[in-house]
Amino acid sequence: MSHARDPLVVGRVVPDVLELFTRSISLRVTYGQREVTNGLDLRPSQVLNKPRVDIGGEDLRNFYTLVMVDPDVPSPSNPHLREYLHWLVTDIPATTGTNFGNEIVSYESPRPTSGIHRIVLVLFRQLGRQTVYEPGWRQNFNTREFAAIYNLGLPVAAVFFNCQRESGCGGRRS
């Protein structure tokens, strides 16, 4: 019952990108002064540079992987390039942040041209330190598949925000 109110379900991130999961680690994503809450509206100018990411957990010996994808490429009504990989950081020790991890795929700022895109940040727990190979291209990425290949299991945390082009009307016509 409570799952129906979960913003990730309401926003269809589950099941479009992820399986249903239970949050177990805190994940704080901050662009400048703005902390990302689910469904927050951000414009490309506000997400130009990589955000500050702080994760929870207790044991520094546990490592986490962060994936940032856009499932609504090139447009939410026709997402045939789902998903677009914006950022991939592995080996992040618990209680630290992405600065301490291994940036496999560098941060590329979202620049949607059509529609309102969801940008999802997912945190997975690694079994140990592992080598992750960078995918050949950013589009048509599949988070589920990626997790399966590297035995990451279900996500431990996730958050998403909405992004549209700078001059977008916010999905509202006067």
Partner 1 sequence: MLFCFFSQMLSSAKQKINQSAFSISSSSSSLSHSHSQAKNMTQVTMEEVWKEINLASLHQHRQLNIDHEPMLRNQNPYNSIFQDFLNMPLNQQQPPPSTSSFPLPPPATVLTLNPHSIHTQFEESAKFGCFGKKRSQDSDESRGDRRHKRMIKNRESAARSRARKQECAYTNELELEIAHLQKENARLKKQEEQLKMAEATQHQTKKTLQRSWTAPF
Binding site for partner 1 (CB under 8 A): 5, 7, 10-12, 37-39, 76-78, 80, 116, 162, 171
User: What are the DSSP E strand ranges found in 37-166?
Assistant: 40-42, 52-55, 63-70, 84-93, 102-105, 117-125, 157-163
Report the alpha-carbon distance of residue 164 to residue 174 in Å, rounded.
17
- Rounded to a whole number of angstroms, the minimum distance from the CB of residue 110 to partner 1 is 16
**Which residue lies nearer to partner 1 by CB, 42 or 94?**
42
Q: How far is the CB of 16 from partner 1 (least distance, A)?
A: 11
Q: Which two tokens stand for residue 14?
A: 């589950």
To partner 1, the closest distance from the beta carbon of 84 in angstroms equals 15
Shorter beta-carbon distance to partner 1: residue 39 or 153? 39
Nearer to partner 1, 140 or 151 (CB): 140
Nearest to 121 by CA among 145, 98, 151: 98
Closest contact distance (angstroms) between CB of 81 and partner 1 is 9
Q: How far is the CB of 41 from partner 1 (least distance, A)?
A: 9
| 99 versus 171: smaller Cβ distance to partner 1 | 171
For residues 69 and 17, what is the distance between their CA atoms, to the nearest angstrom? 9
Cβ closest to partner 1, residue 77 vs residue 131: 77
Element (H, E) at 15: helix 13-16
How many residues does the structure list for the chain?
174
Helices (H), 17-156: 143-149
